Amino acid sequence: MRNIPLMRGCNSVRPYIIVDRGKPKVLQKHINELTQEIRSFEDFLREGLVEYLDVNEENDCLIALYESLITSETTHLEIEPFTILGVCAGLIPYPHHNQSPRNTYQCAMGKQAIGTIAYNQRNRIDTLMYLLTYPEAPMVKSKTIDLIGFDKVPAGQNAMVAVMSYSGYDIEDALILNKASVDRVYRNQKCILKKYANQSFDRIMGPLIDGNTREVIWKHKVLDQDGICSPGERVTNKQVLLNKSMPVVTMSPIETGNKSEQQQQEFQDVPITYKGPVDSYIENVMISSNPEEAFLIKVLLRQTRRPEIGDKFSSRHGQKG
């Protein structure tokens, strides 16, 4: 058997079962040995049962899709016909019933879908993360979906669609939706508590109490007793998430004296505030530290966003609107 590389002159190659005198060389016993892990795929290549073909060699070969289609002139047999499609194209149900450009559109738009990103999406704190509130496993699946586990981390919903004409909103690819579809966006805020060269350090102070009403002031409503925002609270623009303060003097050494003089070190307020026109909810708070004793506090914020005019929706067949 020829030693054919996986890439030759930037041409992709694909493995095929060799057909000899109208019969494939790979038999059921070879498949059984493969499933029992007695044989590996490399063994098929070394024994001349399977070989790689590039696009130029495919022009001189007669390749059968299925074993039942093998004739006396057939040279190779497809291992599995659907593997000619990539991952994105493999997610399309019944792609052979679509117009060819629609499959191309879907391969590009499938990467933009909002859905489930990982099993640990509620524990991780990303800079910006979009999630679908109610993702659903697709009702119609392909073999690729089962193999890659796409139904376990889906990116879409099983929508009921009515095709109709409605004056004013039926222009081109326009869609009309009800108010049931929503998605969520996650953002984060972070704060670092440092220790400085003169042995001073940043600190988190508790919420301020109004002297007249004896209640927490409005800016500190979402803060807990430790000065860090409490998960589940609703936060609005200009409210404080972390009530941080830092020493005014951080470079020159602190004068050594009695304890009363050391306690008079001045601090200035540098709170981490929420900035945004839309209210958010505190989803999670993470506190960690590094070997330099600098503490890091990350706050995960959640917003619920509804679809609005200009948002793009699409089926798995490139029918965007």
Catalytic residue among 173, 210, 269, 311: 173
Residue 50: exposed, middle, or buried by beta-carbon count in 10 A (0-12, 13-18, 19+)? buried
Residue 220 C-alpha from the chain's centroid: 34
Residue 31: exposed, middle, or buried by beta-carbon count in 10 A (0-12, 13-18, 19+)? exposed
Residue 82 · residue 47 · CB < 8 Å = no
Q: In which element (H, E) is residue 55 found?
A: helix 55-58
Residue 113: exposed, middle, or buried by beta-carbon count in 10 A (0-12, 13-18, 19+)? middle
Long-range (24+ apart) CB contacts under 8 A made by 145-152 are 145/90, 145/91, 148/87, 148/90, 150/91
Q: Of 274, 280, 285, 273, whose CA–CA distance to 303 is shortest? A: 280
Phi, psi for 45 (deg, rounded to 5): -70, -45
For the question of residue 173 being annotated catalytic, the response is yes
Catalytic residues: 173
